[in-house]
Structure 1
């Protein structure tokens, strides 16, 4: 029976031709990937479609009128608002451009102070185990506290709204830089430190020549998170402290029941935050490296 199977003559030409048919592949239609769209489509067209979808839903929900303004009315108000963004009519009556610049100035001061303290402290915590064990519980205790809870302490100490807001930004910005810098230091391969010990390098040369280049991607991640957090907190802090700033401007427009300007401020706050994050991400990509 076995010999008959292997030596049986071909029944027809169809069988003869069947030998030359390639074997069917095991790839299913679901596994066959369609060609990816061009990069410019994903980079430009897709975000525009997402924004158009948001505006479309907004227009659909406001087409019957009501207290909520339509996209058209908000756009017209934005054109009028940005036609003169840097006017001055009094100490607290200034254009939206001055409000944005004042908020950015407070963020820069609070973030800069946090960087001066947080980055060296992160290196020290990551480098020395005793310091990490000593300050770790303290950081874990204070980090979950809401940034606005520190605002009354700032008002009590500094007796002024502007330094209190900067103090609040300092507190909310320092934790991501400490934790990410310390994590980067702890992840430096021990072989690098062993070589430094063999070469009898000083602690300063170990930090500048070995630790800092390796920790830089982690450090920039902490910087990006700190800036995003500071820009998020400044709006709420300025609502409480007053003065000139985008947060106070939003609260003032709410007191005037100007919902159009509030919506414009929301888009402006989001755009500025997105711009800051994209700039820092571009910087992080330039200094990052792939591990071999």
Structure 2
């Protein structure tokens, strides 16, 4: 049985969703058209002068209604992995291409950031020396890296992976350094006294103690990576969910744009939930 708090939360979520759908529905209903001079289309004399009938006309919003969106989504998701050429690929195929790029760039960032974060956390002198460079590079937008990456790498696919790498590097690095630096001094003194080898220090003491903080940084980094790949693919991609959004906008298919936006959000939520599950499973009990 659900608790009263959970039932209330579910009700509020359902009510919010219903409210959004109602607002969407009413905002896309047909509306009576008006002339640019404020004369309604129903004015008989004006209509005769303009050579049109006196029947009031209505205009439809170009934005799809919820019903039209659902029908289009069912049609698109019926064959999500079809591939009829570069400009006609299913949305599932596009989403998979983006996920692959994110996993490559994010994986490389993790492999670099975690060891470097250990160095920062264990060697305050190195951290103080390199921290100004980190603070300068960290707030740079993913889009700002694109011209430099395109000029130096000259490959759209590698450019997108580089942008993912450089944007997800900093949250993982800083959180790893913070987690390692926050380990209790007593534990470090004990392992020094026992003359434990460095591999054992890292894998049996330092890494388990800092794991929750490292996973927090990895969750933040993954969110940044997922944001960056969509922007990068809009600029230089020939595939991927960001390219799909831009291509459908150029085709004036707003239903497909909305569907892609929802899938981006769902995919991001699934990725964060997976890392949240891993984070809960590595809680370090003192």
TM, length-normalised to structure 1: 0.83
> For the Cα contact (< 8 Å) 2:97–2:239, is it kept in 1?
yes
What is residue 55 of structure 2 aligned with on the other side? none
Does 2:233 align with 1:224? Answer: no
Q: Out of 110, 129, 132, which is 1:115 matched to?
A: 110
Q: Out of 140, 160, 163, which is 1:145 matched to?
A: 140
**Rounded Cα–Cα distance in structure 2 between residues aligned with 1:46 and 1:76:** 27
**Rounded Cα–Cα distance in structure 2 between residues aligned with 1:57 and 1:123:** 51
Q: Out of 56, 69, 86, which is 2:22 matched to?
A: 56
> For the Cα contact (< 8 Å) 2:208–2:284, is it kept in 1?
no
Q: Which sections of structure 1, spanning at least 5 residues, go unmatched?
A: 1-35
Deviates more, 1:235-244 or 1:87-96: 87-96
Please report the RMSD computed on the Cα atoms of aligned residues, expressed in angstroms.
1.7
Q: Deviations over 1:6-37 (max 9, x none)?
A: xxxxxxxxxxxxxxxxxxxxxxxxxxxxxx94
What is residue 264 of structure 1 aligned with on the other side? 259
Does 2:7 align with 1:41? Answer: yes
What is residue 56 of structure 2 aligned with on the other side? none
Deviates more, 1:206-215 or 1:43-52: 43-52
Q: Out of 154, 176, 182, which is 1:181 matched to?
A: 176
Larger radius of gyration: 1
What is residue 233 of structure 2 aligned with on the other side? 238
Q: Deviations over 1:82-125 (max 9, x none)?
A: 01111111133210010000000000011011011011111110
What is residue 78 of structure 1 aligned with on the other side? 73
Does 2:121 align with 1:126? Answer: yes
What is residue 94 of structure 2 aligned with on the other side? 99
**Rounded Cα–Cα distance in structure 1 between residues aligned with 2:239 and 2:120:** 38
Displacement, 1:255? Answer: 0.7
Q: 1:63 and 1:249, CA in 2 relative to 1: closer, same or farther beyond 3 A? A: same
Q: Which sections of structure 2, spanning at least 5 residues, go unmatched?
A: 31-59
Q: Out of 112, 137, 159, which is 1:164 matched to?
A: 159
**Rounded Cα–Cα distance in structure 1 between residues aligned with 2:106 and 2:100:** 10
TM, length-normalised to structure 2: 0.85
How many residues were matched structurally? 256
